[in-house]
Amino acid sequence: KIADFGLAKVDVRTKMDITALGIPFNMAPELLLCTSPGNNKVDIWSVGVVLFQLRTHEYPIQARSILELTKKMESGRIIRPSSIQDDQLWNLLTQLLEFDPNRRISAEQALQHPYFTSPQAQVEINPLSKQITQNDISKHES
């Protein structure tokens, strides 16, 4: 577990409150729009938000209110920022931040994505760290 989103603070720039499910910016569309009860795919969305933030220092969907965030989520689009030049990263993000939870990538699929498995990525990831992560993900998905 990287972080518990329920322990985060209120964003003073937007003054959005934390809900019982977490910060609205981190919430999967199906939770925010109340279109399905949610499952482990909501966590995949949150991972996508965190990865997006790590690269851009912004949320994938910019909004100043929950109403604005909801309307933007209903559009089902995330615009690629100019700061994301890596096509493999953008491809992974679009699969993590897929608006339809049935089409959203699984944790295991994400770990098999070329962003993590390409020769360049393999050079940068310690083999022991990769094995530990894969074992941990496999336990949680079964």
CATH code for the domain in which residue 73 is found? 1.10.510.10
Given this model, what pLDDT does residue 140 score? Answer: 65
Indicate the pTM of the whole model: 0.70
pLDDT surpasses 50 at 17 = no
Task: Kindly state whether residue 134 falls inside one of the protein's structural domains.
Answer: no
- Using the 8-state DSSP alphabet, how is residue 16 labeled? B
The answer to whether residues 104 and 92 touch, using CB atoms and an 8 Å cutoff, is no
> Residues 109-120, buried b or exposed e (16+ Cβ, 10 A)?
ebbebebbeeee
Task: Kindly state whether residue 140 falls inside one of the protein's structural domains.
Answer: no
Domain count, the chain: 1
pLDDT tens, residue by residue, 71-100: 998 888 999 999 999 999 999 999 999 999
Q: Considering only the C-alpha atoms of the chain, give the largest distance between any 2 of them, rounded to a whole number of Å.
A: 44
Domain that holds residue 49: 5-105
21 token code pair: 């499910």
Task: Kindly state whether residue 43 falls inside one of the protein's structural domains.
Answer: yes
pLDDT surpasses 60 at 5 = no
- Gyration radius from the chain CA atoms: 15
**Mind giving me the DSSP string for 115-127?**
HHHSHHHHHHS-H
12 token code pair: 């003073």
